[in-house]
Each structure stands twice: as structure tokens, then as C-alpha cells.
Amino acid sequence: MTQDSADIAEMTFEDALRALEDVVRKLESGDVPLDDSISLYERGEALRRHCQARLDSAQARIERIVQGADGAPAGTQPFDAVER
């Protein structure tokens, strides 16, 4: 894993999203040389994948909310837990 990838893996969703927005702004400005644009694009793609993975994980956790007998949420369980 490269240092850049390790840094991204440690980011919160919000930090990664802000970094991705910064990459997009730089690329859209048109002031970045081609080689730097390619590097920025690669970083942006890594940030996008990280954000998507965090969103997928959050969605899976939400979908696993356990309902009580009255239909109200009674707690949560990990999305990879075995069904009972």
C-alpha cells in the first residue's frame, strides 16, 4: 500500500469527501499540468472508492437494524452476522 493509499484509508468519510471536492476543483480549474492532472485524477478515484466503501458499510449497518415484536427498532447487529 502506498503512503497516499494509507492516508486515504485513515480518513473519515467527511475528510475524504472534502479532499475529493478539492481534487475536483483543481481539475476543473484547468490550471494543472497534464502529469499533475493524472496524479490528481488517480487520487480522486481512490478517494471516491473510499467514500463509496464507507457509504456501503453505513447502509449495510442501517439495513441490519433489528426490529422488536412491536415493529420498533430494538437494536442493531453487524451486517455480517448470521441470521437466526
Q: How far apart are CA 43 and CA 28, in angstroms?
A: 15
> Mean pLDDT across the stretch 69-78?
68
Say if residue 71's pLDDT is above 90: no
Domains of the chain, CATH where assigned? 3-76 (1.10.287)
Grid cell locating 83: 441470521
- pLDDT for position 72: 72
For the chain, give the DSSP string. --HHHHHHHTS-HHHHHHHHHHHHHHHHHT-S-HHHHHHHHHHHHHHHHHHHHHHHHHHHHHHTEEE-TTSSEEEE--TTSPP-
The set of residues, in sequence order, having a beta carbon less than 8 Å from that of 24 and lying 6+ positions away, is 44
User: What pLDDT, on a 0 to 100 scale, did the predictor assign at position 62?
Assistant: 78
User: What pLDDT does 84 receive?
Assistant: 45
> Tell me: the pLDDT tens digits for 48-66?
999 999 999 988 877 777 6
35 versus 81: the higher-pLDDT residue is: 35
Strand-pair partners of 76: 65
Query: What pLDDT digit, counting tens, does each position of 10-26 carry?
Result: 999 999 999 999 999 99
More confident residue, 8 or 76: 8
